[in-house]
Structure 1
């Protein structure tokens, strides 16, 4: 305990004195997780890849997800659970479990993030998606770690939002200024030919030079079996319907069930995966409807969903980043039914990747949501090409590129700061 207190009170080490550490590499990952599973699952994939390739490495994930303890991590990875916050239907936020104000919850989270940074003394700090964290909570840690010579990285998914919403949102949060002030590198977990998420921000050329397009993050089947008992329909070719965390997947689930209710000639069965955040009343209503359909069944939650995806013949999904990576990794014919509220992120991704022939899209953004449209789309799944039939260089090289950039960042730092590498074309 005395050593911990000493480490928390000492001044940051000068960056001019910092060099490749004799101890194992230490990476701190911030994943704010105010909603869903996307940020956590992306951070977990990166953390597991790091410890898999770096002997003696340690990775700590800071997360607000209430279900982080349900997931397995590689040896060398651990997590710190900060108090959760949740997004309300009107777009506002509140504390998830604590009976405190949102400001107090954010203050507590901010203090825990800073204390973790001081105690862990990482060599690299990877911030997921939000340059300043949720309501600026990561800024004190950025200040401390920058002074200590820690290398700072912002990692963002391939699509953030439509430019007309992203630009004012980032201006309000001071995100653009944070990119200039803090981050040594910006990793876009996608391809430049698919989408350029920061193009509309009119970033300085210096910041554009820090951007690397890594490619998408390949996923693997977990080495240990799932404890979830799969229904009988998984013993034959089936369609997996997944909405990720499930907190905003009601429309997709309803649409799929209605297709089977209206069209008894649909042959291929479907397994619906609800996710841990689905509303209980809606889940109960869905279960009652599914029970009446012999070609439908459900699973509440599977923390090793990759096994189900590998097993499935095809997939129907909302089109979040992680699900898209999994569809590519397991080479599944996939129908994307993107969410269009409150963001167009999933819709933009679906449009661009359908353009490349990687998936097919069914949307109610501009056309009515009818059972007949879904039933026909489900039939067409069997005839669409697999992602592997489309040749796109570096498509799933994301984790390899992350390792390359991590190695470059951990090279001993000279007395002068080198020019940033050029953005990947």
Structure 2
């Protein structure tokens, strides 16, 4: 740990309507910051249904708000079908506001959605800005295709609101990988606030309890939260059934949001394939990625950061609807020689998928591309926080202490 930050407080917001990406990103940042600064306290507001399934380090906690699910058509519904969506959103807004009012943060970091789900954090932003709180919006390296993002943001006047409310716009990727606002008419004042901090590197967990362990080398197949990953898992299983030469062990992690009937179908469908092992969920995916020989995924932000952090050969089969985020990220990574990419229509062909899996076992890791891609996002965020909270002091890192 390094310098004590005099009991400084950071509030984070993660809307979490589909998957685990937002919460996992917030949790990664929070853990890195409390490890660096002994006096720092971080509180995460999350809508993730399984927020409590994860371990949190000392001085990191979360407030659970009622869950809202994003359907595959892009619409939202309450997790509790007996409560109207508008009532759920009203409760969420109230909890967010009163949490901020009670916690009194020095810094408020919003993940991905500048005004929150259906504008639910705007009232809180107004309150905190008047209190002098430092306001930050954190964006993924890729948000969506320019045309889709522009249409969505224009409806809600998002760029002007970013200019009005936020002090800083963090981009969780390097500037030479991708600009999340490319193709949009971004006001100069918003551009001036943009800070490409780099990918958020991952490390193995420090948990005393063990993650799932599998014997020998394995290809990890992961779909993140699993809510929209059934097609990829079907493609992998069909490839194993079609090609008797495909005998390398595959560990498939279904994800906590995969529907029960799909879980059961996959379990039954692989009972006669000795090379496939299926588990439902593990809250320490970093350890499972670190132990894999190679990774097959859809190309979500967190999984890509893990693949790069542990330098694993990877095959990406991106989701292409309702957002093009994964397709854009996978295409750019493939262009840079970091990963292999297979489009969903090609992955549906068992022979093509089987060949891609066999090729993956001989693929060089991302570091072999010679681009010296840095993963220094957490280090850079830590420096920014120190500059804001101790502007007159020089923060010197020292060896970890009790």
Range with greater deviation from structure 2 (310-319 or 86-95): 86-95
Distance 1:207-1:114 versus aligned 2 partners, 3 A rule: same
Q: Distance in 1 between matches of 2:390 and 2:206?
A: 32
Q: How far apart are residue 390 of structure 1 and its match?
A: 2.8
SS at match of 2:199: coil
- Residues 72-113 of structure 1 show CA distances to partners (whole Å, capped at 9, x for unaligned) of 111110000000000123321111126221111111100100
Q: Distance in 1 between matches of 2:165 and 2:117?
A: 16
Partner of 2:72: 89
Partner of 1:12: none
Q: Does 2:358 align with 1:379?
A: yes
Q: Distance in 1 between matches of 2:22 and 2:5?
A: 31
Flag structure 1 segments of 5+ consecutive residues without an equivalent. 1-20, 414-425
Q: How far apart are residue 200 of structure 1 and its match?
A: 2.0
Partner of 2:150: 167
Number of equivalences: 389
Q: Distance in 1 between matches of 2:356 and 2:373?
A: 29
Matches within 5 A, 1:313-324: 313-324=293-304
Partner of 2:61: 78
Alignment check: 8 A CA contact 2:252 2:276 kept? yes
Q: How far apart are residue 369 of structure 1 and its match?
A: 2.0
Partner of 2:166: 183
Partner of 1:342: 322
Distance 1:22-1:42 versus aligned 2 partners, 3 A rule: closer
Q: Distance in 2 between matches of 1:229 and 1:355?
A: 33
Runs of 4 or more consecutive aligned structure 1 residues displaced over 3 Å after TM superposition: 225-230, 391-394
Distance 1:163-1:240 versus aligned 2 partners, 3 A rule: same
Compute the RMSD of aligned alpha carbons: 1.6
Q: Distance in 2 between matches of 1:202 and 1:353?
A: 25
Pairing partner for 1:399 from 375, 378, 384: 378
Matches within 5 A, 1:3-402: 23-97=6-80, 99-230=82-213, 234-364=214-344, 367=346, 369-393=348-372, 395-402=374-381
Distance 1:123-1:289 versus aligned 2 partners, 3 A rule: same
Q: How far apart are residue 201 of structure 1 and its match?
A: 2.1
SS at match of 1:164: helix
SS at match of 1:247: coil
The TM-score with structure 2 as length reference comes to: 0.94
Q: Distance in 1 between matches of 2:72 and 2:102?
A: 37
Distance 1:327-1:88 versus aligned 2 partners, 3 A rule: same
Alignment check: 8 A CA contact 1:179 1:207 kept? yes
Alignment check: 8 A CA contact 2:319 2:344 kept? no
Q: How far apart are residue 282 of structure 1 and its match?
A: 1.2
Partner of 2:399: none
Q: How far apart are residue 190 of structure 1 and its match?
A: 0.5
Q: Distance in 2 between matches of 1:387 and 1:412?
A: 37
Range with greater deviation from structure 2 (193-202 or 90-99): 90-99
Distance 1:108-1:265 versus aligned 2 partners, 3 A rule: same
Q: Distance in 1 between matches of 2:68 and 2:156?
A: 18
Distance 1:72-1:22 versus aligned 2 partners, 3 A rule: closer
SS at match of 2:344: coil
Q: How far apart are residue 22 of structure 1 and its match?
A: 7.9
